[in-house]
């Protein structure tokens, strides 16, 4: 058996599982094969326990024995956790035989996910038996499960249940078949037909899941699918709240656009990371002494919207724009400093706007605004907000309200301009556009790399038109920014300032990469980077290349196949 991961989306992944020379796409359905319910031709089949290797994890699929026939006694007794393994080194990991407990107890389920995905079996294909109903496949795949068996499909058929992604429907209650599969189009007349539909429903959902993983948008599908049963909602919420660090480790720093359309979106791992990194890493641009809090816009990046162009025009007309720090108040991110508006996910999310903030959103914004006002020590705070004004104004003590809930009105914009102008120093030089650009890049660098990012921008110049700028130190380019990527891309010279602090590094054997770096050549990796981050490839202290991480640090250290780093620059 050979398993190769193709695409990653958090804990979820698509892969290719080679069994007996036949490649199967995962996440996938594996079929038990009995005379009453024969497995479809060409499918991935579960082997009988007599064929499994000694030492594999045993699982007794509770509830299946009533459907097994005398000729299938080995399946009735249970199948092995490595039903596809041909050797002891590359086998399937299966959930222990307390499936019934896991499907009733969300706390036990998320603990099991954490043990599997936080342990040494991370790279093995994970089999989750007796639970893969179509309505659950999205959540289970999101949790990193790769294989599901056909037992629940057979059990549902025996109980005359018609399976959909919204749950199971008693077949005798259906007046009109809601599915367009071949079986439903021809009409279901017996249990064999019902099973064919149930299999089709599961296979179709798995195809959709593989598509969403490849696009980096599985979380959105999960948030819609979990509504079918409370257990799923509980499990996702517990996974977010109690095991967020595991999810964050696997969440890419540059992902796909998404809609934050549910309560659970507030705790997405990439969204939660944004809020935590603001508090842990962020420092305002040094010369930005006047804080202006403004509302978000439907259009992203915010600065391209009509409302934000009017805000920025008023700030610019004040004559003191380079000392102003614009910070956008928004859900689910909380706060977005203007210089970070291109950083994922600030320019990649959308939300339904009603003008009403629920309790969780209010609490999140209150905590973020209080932190910003107290920690960053501005000379002046200006509240130029709409629906958010009551929430924000209640937690800051010393501020000026220039909008009174109507930030886009001409009167409010005029007051904003005049208030900032009054803060202009009467004498002394004013900050320049170039010096403010350096300040902004420094804030971005610290947010991206943590404290080592401060060294990257120490004594630099910024050239070009924002946001497509290049960063130079002593006339040597250290990095560049672009609107498309939204973050700093390192050169070899820039990599040196990060690597000297032993941050964002991948250790390799004594060679210079030609093309991309594969996991087989990795000797070690620091724990601070994520998929999509710029990383420095070095042998001992010698920098050999710089590129973008395609695996987590844990995967790089454990894997012996797959692309670890997509190389951008190599040492000569």
What pLDDT digit, counting tens, does each position of 492-528 carry? 999 999 999 999 999 999 999 988 999 999 999 999 9
* Mean per-residue pLDDT, 110-115: 93
Structure tokens at 349: 């999310």
Asked, for residue 249, whether it belongs to a domain, the answer is: no
Q: What tens digit of pLDDT does each residue of 337-363 get?
A: 999 999 999 999 999 988 889 999 999
Number of domains in the chain: 3
Place of tokens 């294989």: 147
pLDDT digits (tens, 9 = 90+) for 383-440: 999 999 999 999 998 999 999 889 999 999 999 999 999 987 666 678 889 999 999 9
Instruction: Evaluate whether residue 300 is within a structural domain.
Output: yes
Is 435 a domain residue?
no
Contacts of range 519-524, beta carbons closer than 8 Å, 24 or more positions apart: 519/551, 519/555, 519/556, 519/559, 519/560, 519/561, 519/562, 519/563, 519/564, 520/559, 520/560, 520/561, 521/564, 522/556, 522/557, 522/559, 522/564, 524/557
Structural domain contains residue 430:
no
Residue 528's domain comprises 448-570
Neighbours of 357 (CB within 10 A): 16
Instruction: At 133, give phi and psi (nearest 5°).
Output: -70, 150
Q: What is the pLDDT of residues 282-319, one digit of tens each?
A: 999 999 999 999 999 999 999 999 999 999 999 999 99
Least confident of 55-59, 388-392, 534-538: 55-59
Which pLDDT belongs to residue 104? 87
> Do 409 and 461 fall into the same domain?
no
What integer best gives the mean pLDDT of the chain? 89
Note whether residue 428 is domain-resident. Answer: no
SS3 431: coil
Query: Which band of pLDDT confidence, cut at 50, 70 and 90, is reported for residue 549?
Result: very high
Q: What is the mean pLDDT of residues 180-203?
A: 94
What CATH number is associated with residue 92? 3.20.20.105
pLDDT score recorded for residue 478: 97
pLDDT at residue 52, as a whole number? 34
3-state secondary structure of 70: helix
Per-residue model confidence as pLDDT tens digits over 446-485: 999 999 999 999 999 999 999 999 999 989 999 999 989 9
Map residue 13 onto helix, strand or coil.
strand
Residues 379 and 488 in one domain: no
Read off the pLDDT band of 84 (50, 70, 90).
very low
Residues 489 and 555 occupy one common structural domain: yes
Other Cβ atoms less than 10 A from the Cβ of 359: the count is 7
DSSP string, 171-189: GGG-SS----SHHHHH---
> Do 201 and 294 share a structural domain?
no
Question: Band of the pLDDT at 248, cuts 50, 70, 90?
Answer: very high
Indicate whether 408 and 539 sit together in one domain. Answer: no
- Nearest to residue 366, comparing CAs of 395, 387, 330, 341? 395
pLDDT over 70 at 43, yes or no: yes
- The answer to whether the bond into 553 is cis (omega within 30° of 0) is no
The answer on 335 and 206 residing in a single domain is no
Residue 547 inside a domain? The answer is: yes
DSSP for 285-348 reads: -TT--EEEEEE--SSSSGGGSHHHHHHHHHHHHTT-GGGEEEEEEETTTEEEEGGGTTSTTTTT
Residue 438 lies in a domain: no
Residue 206 shares a structural domain with residue 318: no
Q: How confident is the model at residue 51 (pLDDT cuts 50, 70, 90)?
A: very low
Identify the CATH number of the domain in which residue 280 sits: 3.40.50.10630
Q: Which residue has the higher pLDDT, 49 or 428?
A: 428
Give residue 70's pLDDT band: very low, low, confident or very high (50, 70, 90).
very low
Same-domain status, 390 and 520: no
Residue 271 pLDDT > 90, yes or no? Answer: yes
Peptide bond before 345: cis, by omega within 30 degrees of 0? yes
pLDDT at 62 over 50: no
Residue 278: predicted pLDDT: 97
Q: What pLDDT score does 81 carry?
A: 39
The stretch 184-198 carries a mean pLDDT of 93
Mean pLDDT of 113-129: 90
What pLDDT shows up at residue 426?
64
Please tell me the total number of residues recorded for the chain in this structure. Answer: 572
360 and 457, same domain (yes or no): no
Helix axes 106-117, 230-242, angle to 10 degrees: 50
Q: Residue 260 pLDDT > 90, yes or no?
A: yes
pLDDT band per the 50, 70, 90 thresholds, residue 47 = low
Contacts of 389 (CB under 8 A, 6+ apart): 383, 401, 403, 404, 405
Do 464 and 386 lie in one domain? The reply is no
Q: Does 548 fall in a domain?
A: yes
Q: Kindly indicate the confidence band of residue 374, based on its pLDDT and cuts at 50, 70 and 90.
A: very high
119 and 233 assigned to the same domain = yes
Give the residue from 492, 462, 498, 466 showing the smallest Cα distance to 478: 492
Residue 372 pLDDT > 70: yes
Whether 41 and 151 share a structural domain:
yes
> What is the predicted pLDDT for the residue at 429?
73
CA separation, residue 315 to residues 7, 423, 537 (Å): 44, 12, 43
Strands of the 400-401 sheet, one edge to the other? 334-337, 324-330, 290-295, 380-383, 400-401
Q: Is the pLDDT of residue 71 over 80?
A: no
Distance set, CA 47 to CA 30, 502, 519 (Å)? 10, 48, 31
Q: Looking at 45-49, 206-210, 360-364, 538-542, which range is the least confident one?
A: 45-49
Taking the C-alpha atoms of residue 514 and residue 212, their distance in angstroms, rounded to an integer, is 32
Q: Can you give the CATH number for the domain in which 557 is found?
A: 2.30.130.10
């Amino acid at each position: 058996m050979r398993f190769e991961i193709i695409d990653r989306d958090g804990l979820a992944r698509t892969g290719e599982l080679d069994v007996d020379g036949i490649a199967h796409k995962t996440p996938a359905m594996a079929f038990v094969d009995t005379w009453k319910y024969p497995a479809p031709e060409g499918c991935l089949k579960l082997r009988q326990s007599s064929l499994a290797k000694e030492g594999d994890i045993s699982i007794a699929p509770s509830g299946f024995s009533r459907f097994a026939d005398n000729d299938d006694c080995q399946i009735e007794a249970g199948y092995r956790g490595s039903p596809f393994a041909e050797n002891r080194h590359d086998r399937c990991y299966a959930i222990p035989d307390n499936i019934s407990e896991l499907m009733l107890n969300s706390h036990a389920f998320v603990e099991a996910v954490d043990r599997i995905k936080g342990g040494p079996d991370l790279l093995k294909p994970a089999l989750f038996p007796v639970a893969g109903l179509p309505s659950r496949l999205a959540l289970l795949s999101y949790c990193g499960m790769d294989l599901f068996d056909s037992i629940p499909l057979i059990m549902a058929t025996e109980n005359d249940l018609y399976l959909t992604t919204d749950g199971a429907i008693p077949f005798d209650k259906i007046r009109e078949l809601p599915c367009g599969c071949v079986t439903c189009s021809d009409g279901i007349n017996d249990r064999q037909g019902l099973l064919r539909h149930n299999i089709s429903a599961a296979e179709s959902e798995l195809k959709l899941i593989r598509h969403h993983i490849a696009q980096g948008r599985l979380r959105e599908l999960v948030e819609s699918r979990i509504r079918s049963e409370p257990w799923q909602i509980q499990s996702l919420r517990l996974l977010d709240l109690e095991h967020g660090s595991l999810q964050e480790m696997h969440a890419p720093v540059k992902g796909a656009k998404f809609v934050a359309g549910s309560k659970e979106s507030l705790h997405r791992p990439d969204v939660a990371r944004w809020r935590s990194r603001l508090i842990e890493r962020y420092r305002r641009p040094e010369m930005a002494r006047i804080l202006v809090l403004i509302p978000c816009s439907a259009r992203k990046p915010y600065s391209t919207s009509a409302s934000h162009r009017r805000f920025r025009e008023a700030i610019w007309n004040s004559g003191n724009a380079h000392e102003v720090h614009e910070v956008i108040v928004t859900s689910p991110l909380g706060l977005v400093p203007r210089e970070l508006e291109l950083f994922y996910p600030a320019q990649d999310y959308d939300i339904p706007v009603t003008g009403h903030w629920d309790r969780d959103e209010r609490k999140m914004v209150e905590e973020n605004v209080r932190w910003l006002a107290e920690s960053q020590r501005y000379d002046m705070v200006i509240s130029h907000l709409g629906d958010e004004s009551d929430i924000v104004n209640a937690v800051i003590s010393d501020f000026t309200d220039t909008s009174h809930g109507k930030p886009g009105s001409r009167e409010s914009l005029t007051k904003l301009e005049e208030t900032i102008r009054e803060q202009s120093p009467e004498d002394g030089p004013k900050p320049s556009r170039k010096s403010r650009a350096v300040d902004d890049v420094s804030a971005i660098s610290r947010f991206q790399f943590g404290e080592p990012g401060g060294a990257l921008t120490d004594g630099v110049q910024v050239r070009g038109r924002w946001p497509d700028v290049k960063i130079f130190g002593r006339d040597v380019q250290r990095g560049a920014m672009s609107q498309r990527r939204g973050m700093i891309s390192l050169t070899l010279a820039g990599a040196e300032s990060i690597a000297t602090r032993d941050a964002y590094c991948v250790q390799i054997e004594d060679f210079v990469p030609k093309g991309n770096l594969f996991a087989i050549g990795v000797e070690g990796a620091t724990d601070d980077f994520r998929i999509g981050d710029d990383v420095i490839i070095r042998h001992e202290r010698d920098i050999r290349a710089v590129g973008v991480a395609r695996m987590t640090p844990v995967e790089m250290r454990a894997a012996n196949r797959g692309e670890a780093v997509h190389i951008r620059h190599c040492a000569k």
